Amino acid sequence: MPSTPAEVQFLHVLLTTLVASGIGTIAGFGTSTIMVLALMTLFFVGIMHWFGNIWKMLLFRRGTRWRLILTFGIPGTITSFLGASIALSMPQGILLRVIDVFLMPYALRVYLKPYHHLPETTATAVGSGAFYSFLAGAIGMGGEIRSAVLTSFNLHKACYISTAGAVATTVDSARLATYLSRGVVLGSPLLSGIIIFIVASLVGSYLGKRIVDKIPQERFRMVVATFILVAGVRMTVIPSII
């Protein structure tokens, strides 16, 4: 029997969630971008992104370092508001070009000098966290910038993914709370399958972890740099999707 439109949509959401969660786990970012490009609603994307970051923290919990998470994440609370205020007075296109200037050269530098990295100190964690949050607040996207900043420390892959998940979870929690406070709700097709989609995000994240486990530590930073480079190119081609 031919599939109904509802069944096709369900399969589309299921497969997109699975793939996006896997890629987001490997790269440390990208889940929401893929799902938005696939025409998912922002509230649904936010829910899947929140769970995806929880899975990152659980699956890579051996790499959790709370000192790094706190020194990187807390200072950004202030600078993110500063970035958001600048966004109101500066054209978005200019801000996106600024990010392009940062992302693509950084990724290429990792290819050329893979062993060059920042020292992981309290000062560099605070400064880089403030820098990331400022840019994220200015343009409304954070994953690519966060990953570029975190990989500049050349962290162990488990620490990198766990930290990325923990920092993003705080942002996602605030975003979801805002949606809920404004009365945003899921449509019935998404709501009826929400448990299955959450499980799919877990399966995708687990498959992503299996792939990460097979990537040698010395090559992992270059793998993430490849995703960052692709993100930079994508921003150039379709800057309206952030």
DSSP string, 60-100: TGGG--HHHHHHHHSTHHHHHHHHHHHHTTS-HHHHHHHHH
Question: What pLDDT is recorded for position 3?
Answer: 60
CB burial of 123-144 (b: ≥16 within 10 Å; e: otherwise) equals ebbbbbbbbbbbbbbbbebbbb
Report CA 115 to chain centroid distance, whole Å: 24
Three-class secondary structure of residue 31 per DSSP: helix
CA distances from 209 to 61, 63, 106 (A): 12, 13, 25
pLDDT digits (tens, 9 = 90+) for 171-221: 778 778 877 888 888 877 788 889 999 999 999 999 999 999 999 998 999
Domain assignment present for residue 165? The answer is yes
Decide: 143 and 242 in contact? Cβ < 8 Å: no
Question: Does residue 25 lie within any of the structural domains?
Answer: yes
94/211: higher pLDDT: 211
- Helix, strand, coil percentages (3-state) for the chain, rounded to 5, are 80, 0, 20
Q: Are 133 and 83 in contact (CB under 8 A)?
A: yes
242 lies in some domain: no
CA 239 to chain centre: 17
**Average pLDDT of the segment spanning 12-36:** 91
**CB 219 within 8 Å of CB 98:** no
142/51 Cα distance (integer angstroms) = 17
88 φ/ψ angles, rounded to the nearest 5 degrees: -75, -20
Within a domain: residue 195?
A: yes
If one counts the domains in the chain, the total is 1
Q: What is the pLDDT of residue 198?
A: 96
Q: Is residue 156 part of a domain?
A: yes
Predicted confidence at residue 1, as pLDDT, reads 45
**What length is written for the chain?**
242
Cα(109)–Cα(222) distance, rounded to whole angstroms?
10
Query: Which domain covers residue 156, as residue numbers?
Result: 5-237
Instruction: Give residue 92's pLDDT.
Output: 58
State the pLDDT at residue 98.
Answer: 67
Using CA atoms, how far apart are residues 95 and 140, in angstroms rounded to an integer?
Answer: 10
Q: Sorting pLDDT into bands at 50, 70 and 90, what band is 57?
A: very high
**The whole model's pTM is what?**
0.84
Q: Tell me how crowded residue 213 is: count the other CB atoms within 10 A of its CB.
A: 11
